[in-house]
Structure formats: C-alpha cells, structure tokens
Amino acid sequence: MENSFECEVHKEGSLAVNAKDALERVCSGKDFDSFARYYSQEFVDHVNEMKFQGLKGARRSVDLYTKVLSDLEIVVREQLTDGDRVTSRFVVSGKCFGKSVSINGMTISRFQDGLIVEDWSVTDTLGMLRQLGVWRSALVGLRNLKAL
C-alpha cells in the first residue's frame, strides 16, 4: 500500500504558521495581547475536558498554565494540515516550585476566515504530576483550588 502522506512547506500567513504562532505566543502567555491576530472573537477552547469561550475564556485557559509553570514555553514540533484544520504536536516546559518539567501536547485548530474558531487540546497532565512528585503536585492542586 502506498503512503499518501504529503509534506508541504508552510508559507508565512498559512494556517499552520498561524496555529504555531498562536500556541507559541498567545498560549504561552508571552504575547496574549496578540489574541485577536490569531483567534476569532467566537473562539471556543476545549482543553483536557474543560471548555472556555471567547477572549475571557482564553485568558482563563492560559492562566491555568502560567499559574502552574513559571518560565512557560511552548514549542511546536510537528504539524499536519487538512482543509480548515491544523493539528499541532508541541512540548510545554517550565518550572514549578523550582522543578523543571516538560510535557507533550496536541491541539487541533479549526480555522474560519483565517482565524482560529475552535481548539481541541490535550496535554500530558499525569506526566507533569509524575515529574513534580507527590508534594509539589499537592501544592499545585491546592493553589489551583484557590483559583477556582
């Protein structure tokens, strides 16, 4: 059976480039002010069984990560494009109570009129908790309970 997978070079302004920039800039919290450049005002974010809507929801979603991990960085490692959807595989890294952690994640972004209207994301939260250990994980849980 022949492999029908095709690889394309992404040009600036392409959906894949926009999805990558959105993850690495906006979702990392480094440039949240550029939200409107990448996301629709009707944006819906599905993250690990949670759902966030619009600019306010996106801010809450990003805050969940930035409150857990200082020096948060997201690096996109691979992308696949299919019509109006881009799948991005990425690595999230940062520090939590002095411990460096790195976890994998994937996001499927759906575009409309050049903007992301919906994201479906999963991250390896259990992997992060394993790296943090019991005490740091308990501290993260307590801190996030206060935030809710």
d(C-alpha 122, C-alpha 132), whole Å? 19
pLDDT band at 25 (very low <50, low <70, confident <90, very high): very high
Contact assessment for residue 118 and residue 43, using Cβ atoms and an 8 Å cutoff: yes
For 70, residues 6+ apart whose C-beta sits below 8 A from its C-beta are 94, 95, 96
pLDDT band at 144 (very low <50, low <70, confident <90, very high): low
pLDDT band at 10 (very low <50, low <70, confident <90, very high): low
pLDDT value of position 5? 46
pLDDT band at 12 (very low <50, low <70, confident <90, very high): low
pLDDT value of position 67? 84
d(C-alpha 127, C-alpha 130), whole Å? 5
Contact assessment for residue 110 and residue 97, using Cβ atoms and an 8 Å cutoff: no
